Structure 1
Amino acid sequence: MTTTIRDGNAPYRAPIGLEPDPEWWRGAVIYQVYPRSFRDTSGDGIGDLRGIAEKLPYIASLDVDAIWISPFFPSPMKDFGYDVSDYCGVDEMFGTLQDFDHLVAEAHRLGIRVMIDLVLSHTSDQHPWFVESRKSFDNPTADWYVWAEAKPDGTPPNNWLSVFGGSAWTWDTRRRQYYLHNFLTSQPDLNFHNPEVQDAILDVARFWLERGVDGFRLDAVNFCFCDEELRDNPPLPPEKRNAKVTPAVNPYNYQDHIYDKNRPENLGFLRRLRALMEEYPAIAAIGEVGEAQRGLELVAEYTSGGDKLHKCYAFEFLSPDMLSPDRIASIVGEFEIAAPEGWACWAFSNHDVVRPATRWAAQAADPERYLRLLAGLLLSLRGSVCIYQGEELGLTEADIAFEDLQDPYGIQFWPDFKGRDGCRTPMVWEKNSHAAGFTDGNPWLPVPREHLPLAVDAQEHVLGSTLNHYRRLLAFRRNHPALIRGDIEFMETKGPVLSFVRRHGNETIFCAFNLSEEERFIARPEGHVEPLDHHGFSGLLRQDKIELPAYDAFFARIS
């Protein structure tokens, strides 16, 4: 059975006001919007597509290249949209397809590209495909999900674990078989070994491309295929366990996940997806690689050859580990070696991890200055960049009371792991308005009082605010091609100062960052050094040395 999805009322819409640059994604800065928490225009306490469209001028004022919108498809919302029940619609809480079309048109008018979050590896158990699949062994979608017989003693077919805790298998009383779910029990995994499933997913991608989207963020892209033989995962030695993808309290970290994900068959599907995207001008895809042990290795595989994904981001900079010059250089350098022709997308924050203002900056002697240094560092590394809504305001992780928790992940592992609600609280627009201007109703998550002084209107006209620091940095980056697409050569990495050179064409830019709470001096680079300004940092060139105040940076053009 092949499902073909078309909308006769929605022919392909070429972006208006945007140059059809097929390489726009190289060095692009992408602003992530979490729809539930961005702006509510209906009063139900949940953000919507009209709210995003309303605030597009604000996003445009940041001078980013694109937005990535987290899922807004019809869903029972057991995992807040990452459990899709209809890939080609808009959940009524977020609006309509017409609202989406308006959003895309307005974004393109403002020069902003639109990427949407496609959840490929699994659906909701309420998706019509799964509803049909579980009815019998011979229905049209019977083999569209990963079904397996029980062991002779009735236990699951193997030892695979769910990211959200417990077995990755759930017994279905109708088929009297187990089905695979790498995440919640209500998120059954699709069987990508079935070509019909691949065809159906490619039709979904085409549906949104025809509506004018500029690309996709592909959720959990390394989970699409599992081992056809359903072999047990081997144990992972304790010294290799880490919490990049799942919290330390989760036994998921105890296995080496070589059979339930990361399968080589995935490359063939990614080639099919890339071929589809090549039918449209200037489309790009970012893959999320959820893998703690071999993340950069997979990123290299998925972005090599120019025939799979355009870029990926891994979890190396989303872990709790504090940044150091050596660690930063090691991560970026490892990627450059593993994927010399690939392209990274770096992020310090997203909707799944503790905000960096709490994860890292809270441990610094001057958290605000440290956060601003992080922004300068992120926007100077080779690769593209994702910025999560509120990151530009310096929002901290909210401490959500147990009775207010919404995230099933947090409820499962409370209190050792409080889930992801703390980084998903509503965007703060107005310091003195109800719910900080997010909604006229009761917000789905509480607005932390400590976020109110950081609201957009409280920072908008303050020259030295964190918000305006981001604007300066983004404008500075746009004015220097070497920072967007240049190569990178690390200079100093062993002490508290990180320095490197970015080169592109005739432009060479020297970048230095002092990650310590004390003033530091480093030697000036060779050649003619022309200090650059308009970036918001105060490092100085003093004859043969560069002076770097605590948590500060220095940029110069070298010739």
Structure 2
Amino acid sequence: MTEKKLPWWRGAAIYQIYPRSFADSNGDGIGDLPGITAHLPYVASLGVDAIWLSPFFKSPMRDFGYDVSDYCDVDPIFGTLADFDALVARTHELGLRIIVDQVWAHTSDEHPWFVESRSSRDNARADWYVWADPKPDGTPPNNWQSVFGGPAWTWDARRGQYYMHQFLTQQPQLHLHHPQVQESVFDIIRFWLDRGVDGFRIDAINHSMHDPRLRDNPPAPEDGKVRTRPFDFQIKKYSQSHPDIPLFLEKVRKVFDEYEDRFTVAEVGGENSDIEMKAFTQGDSRLNTAYGFDFLYAPDLNADFLRTALVKWPAQTHAGWPSWAFENHDAPRAVSRWAKGLDAEAYCRMKILLLACLRGNIFLYYGEELGLPQVDIAFEDLQDPEAIANWPLTLSRDGARTPMPWRSDAPYMGFSEARPWLPMGETHRALAVDVQEARPDSLLHWTRRVLALRNGSLALRAGAIHFRDAPDDLLLFERAHEDERLLCAFNLGSQPVAWALQEPCQPLLTTGGVENRLFPAASGMVARIVTPAR
């Protein structure tokens, strides 16, 4: 594959922005689209290829934008459609692409579609959502459970039926099997692509279709893990992951093929995510890639675990193209999960180099380039509905959603002139952008160097990966494309590891004090394998 034939998204580095927490332009304590636009030069300076915006659509914000009440408008707290158009234009001026979230599994209960659907059993949208009669004793139609706790069914007296919701009661399940619902989704796709959007991240896609026969889910086998939600007590055999989802995605792909250079990535979690990700990205008629959860909730990162995750995606075309992230808006910050007594900055330097060396697309979460740790949010400051409902056993997602620290000495660290919607992380003050911009050896500058290396290497962006045997906690693999061969080595353990290069190599980037055949804890190296002259 030559560079000309390489799609822009193949091996791309994508920067996730959580709009509420990135930059507030109007002093209301909530981030917005003009705030993002103002800081796009900073994002472009990192060397990423695209930005991904979490939902900014009109919403009651019960689940902070993942409960959409109008798919084709901007919520006033974030700005206007004109602000969005300005953001797209500036993004493209800077050579970046823009990806937006799409939530097709459910809407808000305030969406006009649902308001009409619940009004009677015989209106034009009566079957646009999943409705079912109660059992003879008045209980829900089956045993399905909501991700956020309790039954996946809520009684509605207007219709004398239950409606399904896999998340909050305010997020009724769309009946995506319905042809008219699908056509409405296709209209939404065209609306945003016509505005210049370069791609979609599709939320909870394996939750988007259910078993029309409403069969009970079987119980999950005992695995010794603490279960904090009824949802965890079931195998989700019938409530999600319906076999018609890949067929629906083929229709989605046909809409995308009406446009040039567009990109699709699916969010896929759950027990069968590996199988589903491959099904959703198989061949050239479905999605471009799938966004895995392998590392997002992992309490530890070790060589065996990482190798096992990556070898599931071999280089054969039919296996699909993966995407990887160590952090996002739903998961605890990685450095807080993995560093565990090691020097946090050293660990972050190793982690970002490792991420850049993985085969597939890579996602960076805002602030990851600064090494932001998880923030401990007090119960009275919580906004996350899942954490509030399951306190204190469910770790709050709010701790990874706190505002971006731009200036260490400014009120609210430069995020806003007013009290932010979530508390600032005080530990973030010393990691603020202005502090790290002033330090040539900072993690921020290191991230730029790492992404520059990836951008300049077809082996890292698109090449094959081959794992080598290595001692102890050393992860060792080769990335190769045509004549370019790179050796990547990382000590993911807490103790030094001795290992000698077996062939002539030219180090390109090293971190953590790699020298004299010794890899200290939280160290890494990328080296070019030198082919002897013939």
- Residue 458 of structure 2, aligned match among 477, 481, 484: 481
Q: Paired residue for 2:422?
A: 445
Q: 1:351 to 1:302 in 2, by over 3 A?
A: same
The offset of 1:305, in angstroms, is: 1.0
8 Å contact kept, 1:430–1:457: yes
Q: Secondary structure at the match of 1:411?
A: helix
Which residue pairs with 1:557 in the alignment? Answer: 528
User: Per the alignment, do residues 320 and 341 of structure 1 end up closer, same or farther by CA in structure 2, a change over 3 Å counting?
Assistant: closer
Structure 1 residue aligned with 2:273 = 295
| Aligned residue runs from structure 1 range 55-204, under 5 A | 55-204=39-188
Q: How far apart, CA to CA, are the structure 1 residues paired with 2:513 and 2:379?
A: 43
Instruction: Using the TM superposition, give the Cα deviation of residue 254 of structure 1 relative to its aligned residue in structure 2, in angstroms.
Output: 1.2
Amino acid of the residue matched to residue 507 of structure 2? Answer: P
Identity within the alignment, %: 50
What SS does structure 1 have at the residue aligned with 2:14?
strand
What is the one-letter code of the residue matched to 1:279?
E
Q: Summarize the Cα distance change of 1:21–1:49 in structure 2 as closer, same or farther, 3 Å threshold.
A: farther
Match of 1:49 among 30, 33, 37: 33
2:485 equivalent in structure 1:
508
Listed one character per residue, the Cα deviations across residues 218-248 of structure 1 (whole Å, up to 9, x for unaligned) are 0001111100100001111012x76xxxx84
Residue 460 in structure 1 maps to residue 434 in structure 2: no
Q: CA deviation at 1:39?
A: 0.3
| 1:374 matches 2:351 | yes
Moved more, 74-83 or 409-418: 409-418
Residue 530, structure 1, aligned to residue 515, structure 2: no
- Against the structure 1 CA distance between its residues 322 and 99, is the aligned structure 2 distance closer, same or farther, given a 3 Å change threshold? same
Is contact 2:512-2:521 (8 Å) kept? no
Assess, with a 3 A threshold, how the Cα gap between structure 1 residues 494 and 409 changes in structure 2: closer, same or farther: farther
Give yes or no for contact 1:413–1:419 (8 Å, CA) kept in 2: no
Q: Deviations over 1:167-192 (max 9, x none)?
A: 00000010010000000000000001
Tell me, yes or no, if structure 1 residue 426 matches structure 2 residue 403.
Answer: yes
Cα distance in structure 2, aligned partners of 1:290 and 1:104: 29
Matches within 5 A, 1:14-413: 23-239=7-223, 248-291=227-270, 293-336=271-314, 341-361=319-339, 363-413=340-390
TM-score scaled by structure 1? 0.92
Q: 1:434-459, CA deviations, whole angstroms, 9 ceiling, x for partnerless residues?
A: 11100111110111211111110011
The answer on whether the counterparts of 2:369 and 2:447 sit within 8 Å (CA) in structure 1 is yes
Change (3 A) 1:439 1:21: farther
| Residue of structure 2 equivalent to 1:539 | 514
Is there any run of 5+ residues in structure 2 with no aligned partner, and where? none
Instruction: Name the CA distance, whole Å, in 2 between partners of 1:512 and 1:20.
Output: 30
1:20–1:281 contact (8 Å) kept in structure 2 = no
Deviates more, 1:59-68 or 1:511-520: 511-520
What is the TM-score of this pair, normalised by structure 2?
0.96
CA contact (8 A) 2:12 2:50 kept: yes
Once the 2 structures are TM-superposed, how far is the Cα of residue 523 of structure 1 from its aligned partner?
A: 3.2
Unaligned runs of 5+ in 1: 1-18
Tell me which amino acid in the other structure corresponds to 1:209.
L
Post-superposition shift, 1:494?
5.8
Contact between 1:473 and 1:536, CA under 8 Å: does it hold in 2?
A: no
- Cα-Cα RMSD: 1.7
1:198 & 1:371 partners in 2: Cα distance?
Answer: 43
Kindly provide the amino acid, as one letter, of the partner of residue 281 in structure 2: T
Moved more, 470-479 or 139-148: 470-479
TM superposition shift of 1:477? 1.1
Structure 1 letter corresponding to 2:194: E
Q: Using the TM superposition, name which of 413-422 and 45-54 deviates more.
A: 413-422
Q: Distance in 2 between matches of 1:152 and 1:359?
A: 48
Q: Could you tell me which amino acid in structure 1 is paired with residue 363 of structure 2?
A: C
**Secondary structure of the structure 2 residue equivalent to 1:290:** coil
| Distance across 1 between alignment mates of 2:204 and 2:467 | 31
Counterpart code for 2:522: Y
| Cα distance in 1 for residues equivalent to 2:375 and 2:444 | 19
1:256-315 Cα distance to aligned partner (Å, 9 max, x none): 111111111001110011111111110001100021x11111111111111111001121
- Please give the per-residue CA displacement for 1:329-350, whole angstroms capped at 9, x wherever unaligned: 0111123389853111100000
**Rounded Cα–Cα distance in structure 2 between residues aligned with 1:494 and 1:332:** 19
SS at match of 2:74: coil
Distance 1:319 1:95 in 2: 33
CA deviations over 1:506-535 (Å, ceiling 9, x no partner): 101010001123332223234x322224x6
| Count of equivalent residues | 528
Matched with 1:14 is none
**2:236 and 2:402 mapped to 1: Cα distance?**
32
